[in-house]
């Protein structure tokens, strides 16, 4: 059956819930392939405010607001996973096409449920427990060695909702004062050899599936600060990560981009977590791959043919994240990033706050070492304050 | 002196006169580098109507309308060269920054003046004369052999305003009936070995100049149907074209992208014409170069550092141009172009008319031969009618 926009001989209308940088880059891609875009943003979202014609501000993302928005669109997708899966499920039953679907979103939004589902399917993850109280941590403390990592099952992002604890005293204090809702996923702190991200693209027809080769990521204080390709890990590691990511896409019935984040520990590949959307680790696909994750996400949710996921060059992407003592700066200063030859800037048009991602730069080069050096130099020039995760900052050679 | 937007700590506002596909691709690039965009479109322009927030319709492009538009922008640039240079000059004297400037625009808009200026500077062009009547053609007919090419000095584009004449009878009929205003540039029809385009980017500070390596173009009925890189011509030809293009950029004091189109005839490189703007031949730089012509144009007019013009892959771009008997089709059908692996589509969101460019596809590959084959196949799938310039159409193997 032809989609309704073909029958009506008009362009398809893609709705995006959220108006941050992911919506921004989806918007740019949609223009190229003839897809109209309607955005439903929250009051705080800034990225597209000066650009997008069809942009609605929602004071609340309740079922009624979302329903009225979805009725104006052919397909609705997301730039975050904050919409409760039950609302998505309810709208789907009222003839709104929401992709990814409620099943995928429910798993992504709940790390405890996610870990259990993966473990039941035989997919390797770090050893974990799900706890709701200090007593439950105490009960498992014989089997798990401190330091432990506690991750709130819901609501965390960019390092928020994650704490490291070194003793039962810490545990008691966390459960006494934390504002994070229970449950928590608990795991031992691992000595990581590397972190990887694999982006799987699965079409709404469920038959076409593509995958990008693994992207190496580097985190600082729980926030991704750099992503690069190729991974420079043994082929068997890359192949194993791709294999696992593809099986997870089937398992969770994802549509569009699904990002699977991995820990590499002692030659083993362990799934850390999932994000059912375009992902920070994949921003370098804009310049470094034949088709970007953004265009491929749109193609997938609309049922278009998927684009080539081949990389065309080694590349590094560095996030522009103000350090914790950042002074206020304005979008323009990001343009200083352009003074490094070959640097591609993506400005998110956000007012800065400590630890907020306000943009990123990508550099293609003959090697990831060279791309990384140039990307960091470009990022340093863009930011007036020390960059989060800057590898040179600790050496005291940071330049403003 | 810092630009006003730096002093005022806000994003720069770029005004674009015209709302066609060039404005569309400039708009997409501006989002990435933190530049706001205001568009002044004519009633017929369609490309950005569903997308751009700041888009004004002008019923006339008179000095008053342009002045009010320019006052809302920091810098104004163009997606076509239809604004009279004297208006641009007048606005410049009233503190509006219009780039490229009136000098460059005046030369671009008048092919007779352009050819004379180039010839006076010793730049090789085809042998030409400027004529205003049949009698003047008669007067030069001893020195020029038929068939001759007559090009209206003003107002032509995409093959319009250009006629081939094989006898004095044709000449008389042309001057009797043509609606094209005199004068005409007359030249002999040349047997071309190839056509090239060189894109020079010159910054508003006049100190930074970058150039893309020559792009090979193929025309059909006076319209560019394909562009590819590399040119596969001898290095000395490419080098000569680059050298000439750089000298022309200085000569005409261009700011932003200047496209110089060349004929290659018997080992010689002759300048055909100039376009002081982003150019159809450069669309493949979006995917195939480190920085696209669109981003580099914006960087140049705003005085940002220029981006790398290095190509990263052989590539071919094919225009989606409906043949003269095209039936009406809708934007969606262009998405069929995406079913060729590796094809990047740019949909211009235009209703189709015979010979109108409604989009283009670009393919990167290991060779231009392979890229070209895939780009044409992708273009065929996108269009419901025969494509203008399709190399397979004449062989009767055209697929719908």
- What string of pLDDT tens digits covers the 400 residues of chain B? 789 998 888 999 999 999 999 999 999 999 999 999 999 999 999 999 999 999 999 999 999 999 999 999 999 999 998 899 999 999 999 999 999 999 999 999 999 999 999 999 999 999 999 999 899 999 998 899 999 999 999 877 777 788 899 998 888 888 877 666 789 999 999 999 999 999 999 999 989 999 999 999 999 988 999 999 999 999 999 999 999 999 999 999 999 999 999 999 999 999 999 999 999 999 999 999 999 999 999 999 999 999 999 999 999 999 999 777 666 655 447 889 999 999 999 999 998 888 889 999 999 999 999 999 999 999 999 886 667 788 876 543 333 3
Task: Kindly provide the residue ranges of all beta strands, DSSP E only, lying in chain A, ordered along the sequence.
Answer: 13-17, 36-42, 55-58, 75-78, 128-131, 148-152, 162-165, 184-188, 194-202, 209-211, 215-220, 223-229, 256-265, 268-275, 315-321, 343-347, 357-364
Please answer yes or no on whether B364 and A28 come within 8 Å at the CB atom: no
Nearest C-alpha in A relative to B39: A51
Position A210 pLDDT exceeds 80: yes
Nearest C-alpha in A relative to B49: A53
Smallest Cβ–Cβ distance between B332 and the set A12, A24, A332 belongs to A12
Smallest Cβ–Cβ distance between A332 and the set B6, B55, B307 belongs to B6
Q: pLDDT tens for residues A236-285?
A: 999 999 999 999 999 999 999 999 999 999 999 999 999 999 999 999 99
- Give the 3-state secondary structure of B350-379: CCCCCCCEEEEEEEECCCHHHHHHHHHHHH
In a 10 Å sphere around its CB, with 0-12 CB exposed, 13-18 middle and 19+ buried, how is residue B293 labelled?
A: buried
More confident residue, A312 or B178: A312
Q: How many CB atoms lie within 10 A of CB A355?
A: 17
Smallest Cβ–Cβ distance between A347 and the set B6, B33, B330 belongs to B33
Helix (H) or strand (E) run with residue A143 in it: none
In this predicted structure, what is the pLDDT of residue B330? 53
Please answer yes or no on whether A31 and B27 come within 8 Å at the CB atom: yes
Please answer yes or no on whether B34 and A304 come within 8 Å at the CB atom: no
In this predicted structure, what is the pLDDT of residue A328? 61
Please answer yes or no on whether B52 and A51 come within 8 Å at the CB atom: yes
Mean pLDDT of A317-332: 72
The two tokens of residue B368 are 């231009």
pLDDT band of residue A394 (cuts 50, 70, 90) is low
Q: Which of B300, B332, B340, B350 to mutate to test the interface with A (most CBs of A within 10 A)?
A: B332
**CATH topology for the A127-188 domain:** Dna Ligase; domain 1 (3.30.1490)
* Residues 6 or more apart in contact with residue B359 via CB below 8 angstroms: A34, B21, B319, B320, B334, B337, B345, B346, B347, B348, B382
**Architecture of the structural domain at A194-395:** 2-Layer Sandwich (3.30)
Please answer yes or no on whether A349 and B54 come within 8 Å at the CB atom: no
End-to-end Cα spacing for chain A: 58
Please answer yes or no on whether A349 and B34 come within 8 Å at the CB atom: yes
Please identify which residue in the block is written with the tokens 């005085």: B303
Please answer yes or no on whether B51 and A31 come within 8 Å at the CB atom: yes
A6 contacts in chain B (CB < 8 Å): 332
Nearest C-alpha in A relative to B342: A308
* Residues 6 or more apart in contact with residue B371 via CB below 8 angstroms: B228, B314, B315, B316, B363, B364, B365
In this predicted structure, what is the pLDDT of residue B9? 85
Is residue A70 within 8 Å of A96, Cβ to Cβ? yes
Which alpha helices (H) appear in A203-316, and where do they start and end?
235-251, 285-288, 293-302
CA-CA distances (angstroms) from residue A400 to A269, A384, B34? Answer: 38, 6, 20
To the nearest whole angstrom, how far is the Cα of A325 from the nearest Cα of chain B? 20
Smallest Cβ–Cβ distance between B308 and the set A312, A335, A341 belongs to A341
Q: Which of A29, A31, A53, A361 to mutate to test the interface with B (most CBs of B within 10 A)?
A: A31
| Cα–Cα distance, A139 to B265 (Å, whole number) | 85
| Cα–Cα distance, B312 to A365 (Å, whole number) | 9
CA-closest candidate to residue B47, choices B80, B23, B69, B30: B23
Least confident stretch, A161-175, A205-219, A223-237, B30-44: A161-175
B384 contacts in chain A (CB < 8 Å): none
In this predicted structure, what is the pLDDT of residue B312? 96
CA-CA distances (angstroms) from residue B338 to B52, B351, B382? Answer: 24, 19, 8
Please answer yes or no on whether A312 and B364 come within 8 Å at the CB atom: yes
Please answer yes or no on whether B334 and A32 come within 8 Å at the CB atom: no
| Phi and psi angles of residue B104, each rounded to the nearest 5 degrees, phi first | -65, -45
| Cα–Cα distance, A166 to B176 (Å, whole number) | 94
To the nearest whole angstrom, how far is the Cα of A339 from the nearest Cα of chain B? 5
In this predicted structure, what is the pLDDT of residue A8? 87
**CATH topology for the B4-98 domain:** Rossmann fold (3.40.50)
Q: Residue ranges per domain, chain A?
A: 4-98, 127-188, 194-395
A34 contacts in chain B (CB < 8 Å): 331-332, 334-335, 345, 347, 349, 359
Mean pLDDT of A355-373: 96
Q: Which of B30, B31, B46, B336 to mutate to test the interface with A (most CBs of A within 10 A)?
A: B31
| Cα–Cα distance, A198 to A213 (Å, whole number) | 7
Please answer yes or no on whether A307 and B339 come within 8 Å at the CB atom: no
In this predicted structure, what is the pLDDT of residue B399? 33
| Cα–Cα distance, B74 to B97 (Å, whole number) | 7
CA-CA distances (angstroms) from residue A311 to A15, A229, B209, B380? Answer: 28, 8, 30, 26
In this predicted structure, what is the pLDDT of residue B179? 66
CA-CA distances (angstroms) from residue B371 to A100, B226, B266, B346, B374? Answer: 34, 11, 27, 16, 5
Q: pLDDT tens for residues A327-353?
A: 665 544 688 999 999 999 999 999 888
Please answer yes or no on whether A50 and B27 come within 8 Å at the CB atom: no
Helices A85-93 and A63-71: angle between axes, nearest 10 degrees? 50
| Cα–Cα distance, B400 to A173 (Å, whole number) | 69
Q: Report CA B116 to chain centroid distance, whole Å.
A: 21
More confident residue, A316 or A170: A316
| Cα–Cα distance, B294 to B284 (Å, whole number) | 11
Beta bridge partner(s), residue A269 = A264
Query: What is the interface size between A and B, counted as CB pairs within 8 Å?
Result: 137
B27 contacts in chain A (CB < 8 Å): 31, 51
ipTM, two decimals, is 0.94
To the nearest whole angstrom, how far is the Cα of A209 from the nearest Cα of chain B? 13
To the nearest whole angstrom, how far is the Cα of A38 from the nearest Cα of chain B? 9
In this predicted structure, what is the pLDDT of residue B60? 92
pLDDT band of residue A396 (cuts 50, 70, 90) is very low
B303 prior amide bond cis, ω within 30: no
Is residue B257 within 8 Å of B296, Cβ to Cβ? yes
Least confident stretch, A161-170, A385-394, B14-23: A385-394
CA-closest candidate to residue A348, choices A79, A46, A56: A46
Nearest C-alpha in B relative to A25: B32
Nearest C-alpha in A relative to B210: A341
Task: Kindly provide the residue ranges of all beta strands, DSSP E only, lying in A68-213, ordered along the sequence.
Answer: 75-78, 128-131, 148-152, 162-165, 184-188, 194-202, 209-211
């Amino acid at each position: 059956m032809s989609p309704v926009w073909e029958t009506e001989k008009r362009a398809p209308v893609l709705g995006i819930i959220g108006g941050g940088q992911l919506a921004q880059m989806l918007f740019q891609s949609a223009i190229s392939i003839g897809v109209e875009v309607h955005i439903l943003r929250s009051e705080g979202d800034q990225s597209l405010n000066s650009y997008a014609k069809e942009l609605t501000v929602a004071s609340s993302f309740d079922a009624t607001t979302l329903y009225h928005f979805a009725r104006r669109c052919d397909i609705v997708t997301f730039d975050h996973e904050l919409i409760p899966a039950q609302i998505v499920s309810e709208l789907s039953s009222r003839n709104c096409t929401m992709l990814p679907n409620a099943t995928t979103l429910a798993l992504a939004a709940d790390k405890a449920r996610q870990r259990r589902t993966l473990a039941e399917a035989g997919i390797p993850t770090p050893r974990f427990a799900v706890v709701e109280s200090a007593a439950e941590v105490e009960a498992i403390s014989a089997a798990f060695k401190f330091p432990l990592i506690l991750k709130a099952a819901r609501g965390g992002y960019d390092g928020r909702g994650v704490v490291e604890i070194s003793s039962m005293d810490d545990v008691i204090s966390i459960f006494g004062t934390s504002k994070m809702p229970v449950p928590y996923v608990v795991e031992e702190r691992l000595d990581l050899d590397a972190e990887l991200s694999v982006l799987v693209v699965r079409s709404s027809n469920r038959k076409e599936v593509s995958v990008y080769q693994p992207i190496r990521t580097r985190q600082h204080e729980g926030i991704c600060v750099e992503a690069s390709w190729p991974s420079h890990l043994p082929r068997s590691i890359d192949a194993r990560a791709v294999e696992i990511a593809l099986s997870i896409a089937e398992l969770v019935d994802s549509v569009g981009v699904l990002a699977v984040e991995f820990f590499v520990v002692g030659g083993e590949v362990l799934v850390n977590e999932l994000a059912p959307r375009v992902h920070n680790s994949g921003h370098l696909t804009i310049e470094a791959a034949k088709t970007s994750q953004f265009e491929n996400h749109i193609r997938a949710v609309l049922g278009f043919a998927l684009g080539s996921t081949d990389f065309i060059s080694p590349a590094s992407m560095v996030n522009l994240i103000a350090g914790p003592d950042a002074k206020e700066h304005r979008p323009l200063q990001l343009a200083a990033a352009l003074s490094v030859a070959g640097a591609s800037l993506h400005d998110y048009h956000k007012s800065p706050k400590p630890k907020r991602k306000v943009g990123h730069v990508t550099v293609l080069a003959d090697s990831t070492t060279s791309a990384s050096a140039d990307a960091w130099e470009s990022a340093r020039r863009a930011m007036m304050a020390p960059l989060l995760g800057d590898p040179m900052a600790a050496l005291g050679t940071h330049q403003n």
